[in-house]
Amino acid sequence: MPTTVIRITICFAFCVAALVTGCRHASSSDAVAVDREANAIERLRWVEAANATEDATAELAAARAELRRPKLLALATRSPSYPGLNDDQLKRIRSLADDRTAPGSGDVIFGENHRRLLVRLYKYVREYNQSIYKSLMSSAH
């Protein structure tokens, strides 16, 4: 009988230790997740006040002044994507424009606020790329 009590006590101690360790680990990983979301949101804050049409106009002017090709915006996903341009449009504009990755873009969503900003970024990039395309196509004719 005493051996059974010792076994139960040891088993109970191991269960409590596992539970405490698991809870400590969960709160640690929760903190990491919160930090990741906060960092991702911080990298996207700029898009809240951004104006895609004005930024595209400024990019076109800077490209002319610096004698370089204007830059489209790409989203950093598994393979770069160019919202606002279909495949035919992208083929037509490739010889007239370079590209750069939109700051803060990516294909991992860290939370609801991050998702909201990624949606805003997608809309911004779509409008920006369409403005660059329209301008380049009108001046190419």
* pLDDT value at residue 139: 87
pLDDT at 36 over 70: yes
Helix, strand, coil tally for the chain in percent (to 5): 70, 5, 25
Question: Is 64 contained in some domain?
Answer: yes
What share of the chain has pLDDT > 70, as a percent?
76
73 three-state secondary structure = strand
Distance CA 106, CA 81 (A): 11
In the block, which residue shows the tokens 């809870």? 23
pLDDT at 77 over 80: yes
User: Which residues, 6+ apart, have CB-to-CB distance to 108 below 8 Å?
Assistant: 40
Contact 103, 59 (CB under 8 A): no
Confidence of residue 26 (pLDDT cuts 50, 70, 90): very low
Average pLDDT over residues 23-42: 72
**Domain carrying residue 121:** 8-140
Question: Is 2 contained in some domain?
Answer: no
Question: Is 60 contained in some domain?
Answer: yes
Q: Which helix (H) or strand (E) holds 99?
A: strand 98-101
Question: Is 3 contained in some domain?
Answer: no
Q: Which residues of 115-135 are buried (b: 16+ CB within 10 A; e: fewer)?
A: eebbeebbebbbbbbbbbbeb
* pLDDT value at residue 137: 95
pLDDT at 66 over 50: yes
The domain tally of the chain equals 1
